[in-house]
Structure 1
Amino acid sequence: MALSKTDTAETAPVAREEDTGARHVAIIMDGNGRWATQRGWPRLAGHRKGAEQIRKIVQAAPDLGIRYLTIYAFSTENWKRSTAEVLGLMKMFRLMIRREADELARQGVELRFIGDRTRLDPLLRETMDAIEARTKGNTRLTLAVAINYGGRDELRRAALELARDLAAGRISEEEVDEAAISARLDTRGMPDPDLVIRTSGETRISNFLSWQAAYSEYEFTPTLWPDFTPGELADILARFGARERRFGGVAS
């Protein structure tokens, strides 16, 4: 299914980047399963509906001033879910990536994946690699999809890479600073998120972007992800634009 234009009822007034300052927005897309359960449907039906909302948000993001969008699709802890749900999600990821490739490329979206790929199905990894290569260099929006991602696991992998580089003499102890760590994270080359949004009413970060979100602003909304619209995103961005970010300093 191709990325479709946002319905008029869900379209909010455009907020430009200079209005909100939210260049990088990260979203914990929570509530798919509950949305389906409330309707007496299988949990995977909620995930499919949630995928439709991703299309709408991706399409709306550049006009809302967003240059980088990171979405939490599957965590390192999500393997604890039922085998049927996990297998269904992996199949859905693969089919969605294939279906969306043409439209993402046409829209100027660069797609990249963050997380540990070693546990993923080889066919899914091949599909991920192919669309990353195809959309590399697109500049309208960078969409980072977190699959088998955990903030602590990412830091573990970065620490191992840093240790190997130290042992090999590629970096000295004096050069180990925050920039050296950031350069070894999955999000290297991307700015830290300005704003992290979590849907469904939960108020925790669930191991998402532990390092990168140290100074991010947070917004928790009770809306379940399948009901989250570009209009609500625009409202959240407007509120974000009114916040004063001091990064540990004091108000001027």
Structure 2
Amino acid sequence: MRYIVALLALWLAFPAHAQLFSDSDARKAILELRGRLADQDRALLQRDAELAARLDRLETAQRNQLELANQTEVLRQDIARLRGQIEALTNEVATLQKRNRDLYGDLDARLKKMEPSNVTVEGRPVAVDRTEQSSYEAALAQFRASDFKSALSGFQQFVARYPQSAYVPVAQYWIGSSHYAMKDYRSAIAAQQILVDRFSDSTRAPDALLSIAESQLQLGDKRSANRTLGRLIKEYSESEAAKVARERLPATR
């Protein structure tokens, strides 16, 4: 390009010497210059087109990147929102699960209280109400703790509240035993007599007769004690209480 411009400058600067070239040579040189200029123009146009296309591609890529960045930001916000919703739902589920566990636990506890409990009373398996069992065991615990007054009240309330309970014969025996422990021998005799009269087939009946005899001896009534021990030996001869009665019998004569 600089070469062509220099030739043109020389040719324009020295018109007087233009005649040194023949017309054909001048025409040829001009045509050659025009050809070169045309080639350079085409090259420049092609390069401009290539640059324009490249710029367009860059702008398109930039727009795509910007759009992608916007989409990424939208996705990031959506993910953050979903995470928050998931966390809230997780907390809600955990709360509901705890509430259900507490509810089921409470229902289970109530059902267990209502369901009969299988226990052995006087050597026989029986089903008793759990509240009934708890009431009996509470009174028995008081007796074992030597709180005989509270035990007496507990067993009396139990018999009144659960008159059909399998525990009644045993509770009646402990009523008499509580009276005896508090040295109320007449009340002890009356309580044990109820057991013997109403529940003669109870395993506690022999013990009740022995307790009656002991109370009679404490009251100084040897004759009654002798009759009671004799009845015990006759009616419950194979019982452990009968063995004790045989040992005590001489003291009543």
TM-score, length basis structure 1? 0.26
Q: State which structure, 1 or 2, has the greater radius of gyration over its C-alpha atoms.
A: 2
Which protein, 1 or 2, shows the higher relative CO under an 8 Å CA cutoff with sep ≥ 6? 1
- If each structure's strand is expressed as a fraction of its own residues, which one has the higher value? 1
TM-score w.r.t. the length of structure 2 is 0.26
Higher helix share: 2
